Structure 1
């Protein structure tokens, strides 16, 4: 790209643009996030979000998918993906001025694909969110590189709020499923199970949230009664929202 005539490209100092990916799934019943161990300086040996520099011929989304494949072996997948926020503190990267465009992915079944470390990552694994101590402001012995603890906290809040007002949680249960199966998804993401009575009323009273089948689960139920089985409905948003137990509006 050529600058317009008369424009001084040296008038502003150059800086780099990177992408960082917060990739969440439910693994072994726990909300988990994908982290890589950095193989190179800065912060060699520390755990970090997968990501890297945006190349001159890429947009941010293309760079995000490329870096995910290069560092973890995960290829493009179907599921929820969105830009999270831009992080631009002047001192966030010791190498130079770097602005990062963080992305959020939340999709089922990702842990069945690996991951495998590649590029400048020496290891890659799924970390249970609760092991990172993000809620209490401590990393619980896991010292993350750059400002990735801040990015992860923001992403965790986004994921938790996402299932308050959408039906995204239904993507994380195999069909057909019981209401208890679905409630466990909310418990994993929120870190606390929603009130059973309120949860049942909300799910069953929201048009298109779930669809009852003719089947029952003989292995699950109370007082000897088998639990009904459901499939995903056509609804994508909840109005009003299903508020998490610790929400100031949930009381």
Structure 2
């Protein structure tokens, strides 16, 4: 077998960035690192790819082993390869990110590696360059969310307009004009109004809506920009 004998092997790892929404807050899933260096410090879900394993399979396997999550859609984000990013050995990391409804997957989360959800505003210091990975993922999500309805992946089957607006405001970390948001979301035709109301925050209540999955697929490439107008911040 021919080998590149003059080249030194470089390790390849996969790191998974999982964002969730519980109806009130956008959160980031973290675990405690199980090995030295920086053992027991907060980390993304990461590990090395197997010799006969492709990247996508490695991402799903690592996420399952470290958190218990399975059948989660993961999208490849970016490759991080600074020579000194891992103090132990030269390691290239391919990152993946996911958006999930926390309540939908709550029963899958295990405690083997102390998997825990953190509000984005309360994220602890992360190992290595994992903080930069999270920042890069958020930039990608904000860009995609302005063009496509990807944030609906974070919502339960039925939700209110205030919940939806709150989600967008947290992702973009800024207030959004209420009237403009309602006008655009109504014009998109993506939502199906339900007869039931959520009265947990007021006597009048807010109607629940469901996503029209057929229109969601049809309009994915022509989604309106919900953050076109913002309130002064």
Check the 8 A contact 1:25/1:111 in 2, yes or no: no
Partner of 1:106: 99
Q: Within 2, Cα distance between the matches of 1:162 and 1:209?
A: 17
Q: Within 1, Cα distance between the matches of 2:33 and 2:116?
A: 12
Q: Deviations over 1:208-247 (max 9, x none)?
A: 321334x25273899x866444321223344442227779
Higher relative contact order (CA 8 A, sep 6+): 2
Q: TM-score, normalised by structure 2?
A: 0.84
Q: TM-score, normalised by structure 1?
A: 0.79
Partner of 2:66: 71
Out of 132, 149, 159, the residue aligned to residue 150 of structure 1 is 132
Check the 8 A contact 2:19/2:26 in 1, yes or no: yes
Partner of 2:176: 194
Q: Deviations over 1:21-45 (max 9, x none)?
A: 0011113611111111112102112
CA apart distance, 1:114: 5.0
Matched, 1:217 2:208: no
Out of 14, 18, 22, the residue aligned to residue 17 of structure 2 is 22
Q: How many pairs does the alignment contain?
A: 227
Q: Within 1, Cα distance between the matches of 2:176 and 2:128?
A: 34
- Residue ranges of structure 2 left out of the alignment (5+ in a row): none
Report SS of the residue matched to 1:9. Answer: coil
Superposed CA RMSD in Å reads 2.8
Out of 227, 230, 251, the residue aligned to residue 209 of structure 2 is 230
- Residue ranges of structure 1 left out of the alignment (5+ in a row): 133-141
Which moves more between the two structures, 81-90 or 193-202? 193-202
